[in-house]
Homo-oligomer: A and B are copies of this chain.
Amino acid sequence: MHVLSPGLVRWNPAVLMHYTRYLRRAGTIACARLERSEAVSYTVDFQPLGRRGQAREGESLLDCARRLGIGIVSVCGGRGKCQACKVQVVKGSVSQPTSSDRETFTEAELANGWRLACQAYPGSNCRVGIPADSMAAPQRTQVEGLQTTVAPEPSVRDYQVELAVPSLDEYQGDADSLLAALDREHGLQCRRVDVGVLRSLSPLLRSWHWRCQASVRDDEVISVAGWSSPVLGLAVDLGSTKIAGYLVDLASGRTLSARGIMNPQISYGEDIVSRLTRVMENPEEAVQLKEAVVGAINDLAADLCHDIGGETDRIVDAVIVGNTAMHHLFLGLPVRQLALSPFVPTVSQSLDVKARDIGLRAAPGAYIHLLPNIAGYVGGDHVAMLLATEAFEAEDLTVALDIGTNTEVSVIEHGYISSVSCPSGPAFEGGQIRDGMRAASGAIERLRIENDMVQYHTIDDVPPVGICGSGVLDAVAQLYLAGILNERGRMRDDHPRVRTRQGLREFVIVPDSQRANGAEVVLTQADVRQLQLAKAAIRSGIQILLDVRDRREEEIRNVIIAGAFGTYIDLHSAIAMGLLPSLPHDRFKQVGNAAGAGSRLALVSLHKRAQARDLASRVNYVELGSAPGFTEAFVAAGYLGRFRIRDGKRQPIE
């Protein structure tokens, strides 16, 4: 296997992120209609979705969930074979464990309520937890569940005041009168009123009969409104494919509305690198890219406000998190130095800019806060993830990673944080895979091989159209476990489903007879190589950071997997094919969109912003390609199977 230069992979074209899938489905579930209750039945409360419904007599938890529109993964069709539909009964009783349950779970797990959903029948009203692993369509409440409780400490607060009515004796300016009232009634020593506020202040004060609500940030009045107006904040996770927006009540810290949209920059290039290339070649397009994304966020904010019957001019603060490239494109910063070695951002530290300087529609004097970037390829979204998961405070050896075209990895222990950026390429998103596709309707997202029979599950349960990242991951793992791929990733040619086309071996997943458009779905030897490159980049990144700390994989106590793709991957497969270290499953935590949660924390709490600044400044960033021992680690990490890497050598685990 040749060693891949990080720069090279960075320049590969990539497909859209898995994000697509996460948010599309979130919408689907949110819109699912509530079932009418049936006679003689128990109520089942599915968490963390918060969906309740009546289980009909003779209906398993899986059937009940499906009827309610909740997508619990099942590959075997409810026969207790695929072990995909794991759930945990946290309240109430269900039928006794079956032999399938006993094959799947330990006694301790069974005692804790773990069951296969297809094997369990309600015996009372009950509450059932669905782990991310078993969700065909985790949705946003799962992400919201991650939000750690934080005391609201917003950067902007509203104050109600009554101003002195001007007269020939009270001739001071309206703004001066407002500042005097804030001092008199609230003891606030404000000194400035934003010029945008000044431009409408005088007629507004008169229409409100001199009573108003002033939004104050530091010593500056950044907005005025009538009494009892809401005080809104906007948190945005600005992904290269999807944009997630949250409208937050700044006073309580409560999320009022959440929505996702596509990033319109996609029409300028599906992945970040192709967008950067385009801007470097046509610098005038930087403005178009900026305006496209700002326009999209403006639309998103308007929709979020519409959800609650509010107006965007009550958005008095915003936090935007994104990778360094999205951060730069959003602000209209130059990107050439970001795209070329040594990949330096224009700015690393956190920023506060006036919303109007970016073109974001909000209160006249509102600011946007941008979390710090760690390096050219580790941005504020990773900082937000470390913040939301509290990984940055981990005492025990913890690995936190966000898998995508570029995978950011941090290793944390006793306040020490080191980070690396791994150019993992588009394979996990279906890119550069012959029959690969985005995680959209008809994509094979789960796959099992049992007695040479291939079982799969497609998104939306429709006939297969292609295979997406988690499906490819499953496929490689299953082919390896079935002995069809060896540890070097080479495909056997004596298996009934393996054939050679144009000198390239390929495994037939779906014969033409089963496929919607009449063609086949195959996994080629080249596809396997792509996946090996991708997982080698990630696994070697983890190893390099462990080497820096002089620690070993088996000492890792927690692995936090963030991001949409990370939510969908099957842990068994990821470990079996050597993407993730071989560790007990309870050390892994798939947390969904933690960057979005982090953006909301930073929006609501100045303390969290300070933590973000502090953690970013403490990070020891390691440039993967130039780290000692990288080449050896990368080569070793490309092998399939369970193994450890020690002194640059692979040590298989039996």
Asked if A203 contacts B336 (CB within 8 A), the reply is yes
Binds B, one of A80-88, A343-351, A397-405, A530-538: A343-351
Asked if A171 contacts B623 (CB within 8 A), the reply is yes
A293 to chain B, nearest CB (A): 16
Cβ-based interface call for A28 (8 A): no
Partner pick for A342 among B168, B192, B334, B341, CB 8 A cutoff = B168
Can you name the residue of chain B whose Cβ is closest to the Cβ of A356? B357
Can you name the residue of chain B whose Cβ is closest to the Cβ of A178? B347
Cβ-based interface call for A548 (8 A): no
A285 to chain B, nearest CB (A): 15
CA distance A472 to B176 in the complex (A): 42
Cβ-based interface call for A332 (8 A): yes
Binds B, one of A49-57, A123-131, A194-202: A194-202
Provide the residues of chain B in CB contact with A337, threshold 8 Å. Answer: 166, 174, 202-203, 206
Cβ-based interface call for A267 (8 A): no
CA distance A206 to B346 in the complex (A): 11
Can you name the residue of chain B whose Cβ is closest to the Cβ of A201? B346
Within 8 A of B (CB), among A178-204: 179, 192-193, 195-196, 198-203
Question: Known contacts A195-B353, A200-B334, A202-B333: does B345 contact A174 (CB below 8 Å)?
Answer: yes
Question: Known contacts A202-B334, A337-B206, A347-B193: does B353 contact A171 (CB below 8 Å)?
Answer: no
CA distance A341 to B169 in the complex (A): 11
Asked if A347 contacts B174 (CB within 8 A), the reply is yes
User: Quick one: CB contact mask for A550-561 with B, threshold 8 Å, 1 for yes?
Assistant: 000000000000
Cβ-based interface call for A621 (8 A): yes
CA distance A75 to B171 in the complex (A): 47
Partner pick for A348 among B173, B192, B343, CB 8 A cutoff = B173
Max chain B CB contacts within 10 Å: which of A170, A337, A351?
A337
Can you name the residue of chain B whose Cβ is closest to the Cβ of A625? B168
User: Quick one: CB contact mask for A605-626 with B, threshold 8 Å, 1 for yes?
Assistant: 0000000000000000101001
Within 8 A of B (CB), among A309-363: 331-334, 336-337, 341-349, 351-353, 356-358
CA distance A464 to B294 in the complex (A): 63
Partner pick for A343 among B171, B336, B351, B357, CB 8 A cutoff = B171
A327 to chain B, nearest CB (A): 10
Asked if A342 contacts B171 (CB within 8 A), the reply is yes
Max chain B CB contacts within 10 Å: which of A169, A349, A356, A376?
A349
Asked if B171 contacts A202 (CB within 8 A), the reply is no
Provide the residues of chain B in CB contact with A199, threshold 8 Å. Answer: 331-334
User: Quick one: CB contact mask for A216-257 with B, threshold 8 Å, 1 for yes?
Assistant: 000000000000000000000000000000000000000000
CA distance A333 to B197 in the complex (A): 9
Max chain B CB contacts within 10 Å: which of A333, A352, A356, A621?
A333
Q: How many identical subunits does the complex contain?
A: 2
Provide the residues of chain B in CB contact with A626, threshold 8 Å. Answer: 168
Max chain B CB contacts within 10 Å: which of A168, A174, A334?
A168
Question: Known contacts A168-B623, A337-B174: does B342 contact A198 (CB below 8 Å)?
Answer: no
CA distance A322 to B173 in the complex (A): 16
Asked if B202 contacts A336 (CB within 8 A), the reply is yes
CA distance A191 to B337 in the complex (A): 22
Cβ-based interface call for A175 (8 A): yes
CA distance A174 to B334 in the complex (A): 11
Question: Known contacts A176-B349, A347-B193, A357-B356: does B198 contact A333 (CB below 8 Å)?
Answer: yes
Within 8 A of B (CB), among A498-526: none
Cβ-based interface call for A375 (8 A): yes
CA distance A334 to B373 in the complex (A): 41
Within 8 A of B (CB), among A141-176: 166-176
A409 to chain B, nearest CB (A): 16
Provide the residues of chain B in CB contact with A336, threshold 8 Å. Answer: 202-203
User: Quick one: CB contact mask for A355-398 with B, threshold 8 Å, 1 for yes?
Assistant: 01110000000000000010110000000000000000000000
Provide the residues of chain B in CB contact with A346, threshold 8 Å. Answer: 173-175, 198, 201-202
Provide the residues of chain B in CB contact with A345, threshold 8 Å. Answer: 173-174
CA distance A195 to B193 in the complex (A): 20
Provide the residues of chain B in CB contact with A347, threshold 8 Å. Answer: 173-176, 193, 198, 201
Asked if A357 contacts B195 (CB within 8 A), the reply is yes
CA distance A623 to B342 in the complex (A): 66
Provide the residues of chain B in CB contact with A343, threshold 8 Å. Answer: 171
A116 to chain B, nearest CB (A): 48
A351 to chain B, nearest CB (A): 7
